[in-house]
Structure 1
C-alpha cells in the first residue's frame, strides 16, 4: 500500500488519513500562449470577473473579489506527457448553481468532456481553448458521503443525473455565484508515494482515497479532497520547462500557525524554498511549483 512504502510502522492508514494543518487550495496560475484571449474565454463562458489587468498577468475571480485564476504569458508550447495540471476545480455553493451553469454552457454550445456523480459531489468537466482541464462541481450533503471509520472518503465515478441537475436551477446564470471557491487541484505526477509523503508530511494534508495504484486524493478539514494526483501521463515524469504553457503554480492558503509549521518542516527536511513576506514558493517532488500564502 502507498502509505506503507516508507517502511515506517507508525505510518498506518489511520495516521495518514489525518490532516495536521488546515491549509486549502486558493487559486491557480496558468501560463498561456494568448493570455488575453484565454481571459476572455473565462469571462464569457465561465462567468469570471476580470479583477485586475497587470503588465504581466490577467487576474480573474468572482465579482465579490475572490481571486481564482491568474494568467501569464507562456514562453513555449506545452510539452506532452509531463507532470502538471490535470484539472483545476471550481466548487459552487449549491446544486442549483451547478444546474444554472450547466444550462448556460449548453446554451452557448460549450463542449463538455464529462459529467459525473462521485458520490460526494456532482461534477462537470471541460477544457479551455489551450487545453487546461476544468472541473465545475457542487458537493452533496455530507450525510450521504461514504466516510469510513479509518478516515477515508470513498468516491465513485458514475453518470451524473443531468436532468435532475438542470431541474434544480432556480435563476439564469450570469456570473460565478458568491461563495465559489477553488475547491481542489488535480495533478499529473510521476510517483504517488513521493506525492503522498510530501503533501502529508510537509503540507499536512490527510489521505482521503486511493484509486488502485493510479491516483490518490488528499484534503484537510471536512473536504473529500483539495488535491488529486494521478499517474495517467506516465511514471517518473517531471514538469515541463519553466515558463511553458500550462500550470505555472497552484496557490494554497494557510493560517499563520500552519504557515510557520510548514516552514519549520521544510527547514527540518532541508527542502529548498524561496520566502517572501507572507509567502513561500517551492516545487513538489514532480517539479510542479506551488505558492503557500498566509490567508
Structure 2
C-alpha cells in the first residue's frame, strides 16, 4: 500500500525546519523514516507535508564537549553511533547496543532521534539513555527546552515533544563508572531490557550513586528504586548480595504489560536475571569506567 499524497520539503536550518512544520496543520519531520514511512504506507499515520532534516548541518555530530558531556546529534544513525570513537571509548555499552538494534537496514538509516520520538515501548536506546540520565534538547518556535530522558516518553507511542519541536541533540555526562546493558528479545525487538550506570570516585571502588532502568515492560523505561538505594555507598564487592536483597521489592513495583512477549511474572523474572548479569559484567570490569 502506498501512503496518501504529501508535500516534501528540504530546509537547510533548524529554524527553517521548525517553521516549515508550523506552517502545516499535520507536518512531520523526516530523517531515517524506518518507522514513519512504514506507518504512512499502512495508512496508520497521515501527513500532508514531510520536512526532510537530513540536509541540516550539525544534527549528525558526536563529540565530547568542554563540560565533559557527550553530545549526540539526533540525526545520527545507529550505525554511526556504534562505530564512533568517542562512544567506543567512553560508553562502549552504547556502541554495542546500537550495533545490535533491529537489523542492518534499520541500523544504516534509522536515527537515534527518530527512535526516541516514535515512543515504541519495545526499543533499545530509551532504556540506556534513561540510565545515563541523558538530556534531550528540543528546538521549537518558542526557543529551546531540555527534557530528561526519564520524562521524554509519556506513554506508548507518545512523547512530550510538541509536533513543531525538533529533537536536535542528546547529551549526557561522561560516565565515571561502568555502564552495562542486557536484553532478551523476540525477533528484532527487546521483550525486556535492563541498563545500569554506576558513578564512582576517581580511583575508588565505592559506588557513589547508581541508576537502573528496565524497559519494554510497560509504556516507558522504569527505575528500580530499591536497587538504586541499596547500591549507593557500598563497595563493588558488596554489589551482588545487595541487589539480591533489594530485587524482590523492586520488581514488584514495576508496571508490566502482558502481551505476546510474555506474562507479568515471566517478564519480572527476566528483568531480575538481566540485572544480575549487568552486575556481573560491571564487577568483572573491576567497577571502573
Report the TM range for the smaller structure's normalisation.
under 0.3
TM-score by length of 1: 0.26
Higher relative CO (CA 8 A, sep ≥ 6), structure 1 or 2? 1
